[in-house]
Amino acid sequence: MSNYTKTMICLATSKKDGGRCVAGKSVDAVDHGQWIRPVSPRATAEISLEERRYQDGSEPRLLDVIQIPMMAPVPREHQTENHLIDGQEYWSKNGSATWADLLPLLDKPATLWANESSSTAGTNDRITPATAATLTNSLWLIKPQKLTIQVRAPGAAFGNPKRKVRASFQYNGTSYDFSVTDLGVQVDFLARPDGDYNIDQEVYLSRASERLIRTSMETLFVTSWWPRSSASSHCERQANAENRFYNRPFDPSAGALHQLALPAWDHRAL
């Protein structure tokens, strides 16, 4: 039996270790607007298909208003938003939010955590463990400027033809370049030729000509490095594999900051 429930607007269902990272903002009166990340008891905390689907078999989508049975808050280092789910109970969809509902929920940080380190492929997408230890949150909902989606095979010169999707943008005058892990955006852009896709005139939100990006530090220690964690060996293997693409040694002094999900848009504009 669950101990309590949380109701949130779904803002992310991105891939993570064979499952999904699901996160959203609370619409409960007691903590309205605060971030919630449902997590499983597994070491890497991903939510499986069986755990996240509704009773009718469908899965959560962006802007779903979801009620989730929870067991306990389980903050983990900078991931203060984590709540352990009751994996024996179904999630419930309690309607859908609109883009207008999100505008009052925008976060407005001065920077996206710390602008101190960049990976070979990215810009301001890594921070040190020492910096991570000082942080008290791992999720933002922001409005970016000059968004460009990039599709290319970064490891082609080293014999790896796998194509990747990244997003470059500016926020408060600072440039960022993150990996895109939202599955819908990946499918959409991997179906296109390699190139840079300027989003300024191509994407719009319903009832507004603005665009929203959810950036997350969820994968800071998952896809590249997870210090002081039982998942560290798995993640180090992933990091070493990625670093071979770029012909560089594994650097344990910085984690990767590269979770980025785009909300759904009207595809007629593309």
pLDDT for residue 78: 85
| CA-angle at 7, arms to 26 and 104, nearest 5° | 30
Domain ranges of the chain: 4-97, 104-221+256-269
Contacts of 99 (CB under 8 A, 6+ apart): 63, 205, 206, 207, 208, 212, 263
Q: pLDDT tens for the chain, 270 residues: list them.
A: 899 999 999 988 877 777 888 999 999 999 999 999 999 999 889 999 999 999 999 999 989 999 999 999 999 888 899 999 999 999 999 999 988 888 899 888 898 888 888 888 889 888 888 888 888 888 888 888 888 999 999 999 999 999 999 989 888 999 999 888 777 788 889 999 999 998 864 333 333 334 555 555 432 222 222 223 333 333 333 333 333 333 333 343 344 343 444 443 332 222
Both tokens assigned to 72: 């306990």
Q: Bridge partners of 215?
A: 140, 260
Residues in the chain: 270
pLDDT (0 to 100) of residue 161? 95
Contacts of 233 (CB under 8 A, 6+ apart): none
Cβ contacts of 88 within 8 Å, gap of 6 or more: none
pTM for this predicted structure? 0.75
Cβ 153 vs Cβ 165: under 8 Å? no
Query: Distance between CA atoms of 220 and 235, rounded to whole angstroms?
Result: 11
pLDDT at 216: 52
Across 153-203, the runs of DSSP E, i.e. the strands, are 164-171, 174-179, 195-198
Residue 237's SS3 state is helix
pLDDT of residue 7: 98
Cα gap 154→32, rounded to integer Å: 41
Q: Where are the alpha helices (DSSP H) in the chain?
A: 49-52, 99-102, 129-132, 183-190, 232-245
CA angle (242 as vertex; 172, 257 as ends), nearest 5: 25
- SS3 for 37-60 is EEECCCCCCCECHHHHCECCCCCC
Quote the CA–CA distance of 156 and 140 in Å, as a whole number: 32
Q: What's the pLDDT score for residue 200?
A: 64
| Three-class secondary structure of residue 95 per DSSP | strand
Q: How far apart are the first and last CA of the chain?
A: 46
